Copies of this chain bind each other. A is one copy, B any other.
Amino acid sequence: MRVFDREKGFAMGRYRSFDETRAMDGAIACFRERGYHASSMRDLEREMGLKSSSLYNAFGDKKTLFLRALEAYMDASPRRRIALLDRSADPLAAIECFLGSIVLVSAADPCGCLLVNSAASPVALDKEIRAAVSGGLGELEAALLRALERAVTQGSLAPEAPVRDLARVLLGAVVSIRVLSRTSPGEPWLRSIADGALAQLRASSPAALAS
């Protein structure tokens, strides 16, 4: 509303004295570490550097804030990975790189992924939030599927490769790595899962399926 009016030239009233992006980062960090139910509005105010009135004025109530944080997180992390997948010249190498990165990040940061954490959380019992989470996971799955289909087109995967199932396996690997990283099993442990999923891709290579 503020932005809308101001952009239209109807601008009026006091400016916001905080960086909305930085505030969102604080919200993401809070929800990522403590989840929805264990993050109090006081926690969020502190991590976002806002007083409650500013917070409510700018971002709405707790649920709306969560939905915005999830959306901002999607832009900041999963969708960047998706863009890398889509832009890569070698889709299989990009997938390998993708999983390897997930392993490294997960081993280093036990907070996990806001999207995956939310899927396992009771906050997903809420209809809107579950829709957002399903949507986010669906984006990832679709991106992996696109990459696999490109690999088929390029000949690095056999035409009869079960790309739809493989995309699900890859998404499953990401999910399990991110969940299990919360118990700090160590990087080699997590890499076992990533390598297992990648081995399945290789089992669908033209050479493997020809024999």
* Assembled-state Cα–Cα distance A173/B177 (Å): 10
Copies of this chain present? 2
| Nearest B residue (CB) for A33 | B122
Return chain B residues, CB-CB under 8 Å to A164. Answer: 192
* Assembled-state Cα–Cα distance A121/B91 (Å): 33
Return chain B residues, CB-CB under 8 Å to A175. Answer: 175-176, 179-180
A195 to chain B, nearest CB (A): 7
Interface of A toward B, CB cutoff 8 Å: 33-35, 37-38, 112, 116-117, 119-125, 130, 133-134, 137, 164-166, 168-169, 171-173, 175-177, 179-180, 182-183, 185, 189, 192-193, 195-197, 199-200, 203, 211
A49 to chain B, nearest CB (A): 22
Return chain B residues, CB-CB under 8 Å to A166. Answer: 196
* Assembled-state Cα–Cα distance A47/B18 (Å): 45
- Supposing A189-B168, A200-B196 touch, asked if A137 and B180 sit within 8 A by C-beta, the answer is yes
A43 to chain B, nearest CB (A): 11
CB–CB B182/A179 < 8 A:
no
| Nearest B residue (CB) for A175 | B176
CB–CB B193/A199 < 8 A:
no
Of B112, B169, B183, which contacts A130 at CB under 8 A? B183
| Nearest B residue (CB) for A178 | B120
Of the candidates A35, A122, A166, A180, the one having the most CB atoms from chain B within 10 angstroms of its own CB is A122
CB–CB B172/A177 < 8 A:
yes
Given A35-B122, A168-B196, A171-B176, 19 further pairs, Cβ under 8 A: A34-B125, A35-B37, A117-B120, A120-B121, A120-B179, A120-B182, A121-B121, A133-B183, A165-B196, A169-B193, A169-B196, A169-B197, A172-B173, A172-B193, A175-B176, A175-B180, A179-B179, A199-B203, A211-B211
* Assembled-state Cα–Cα distance A196/B200 (Å): 8
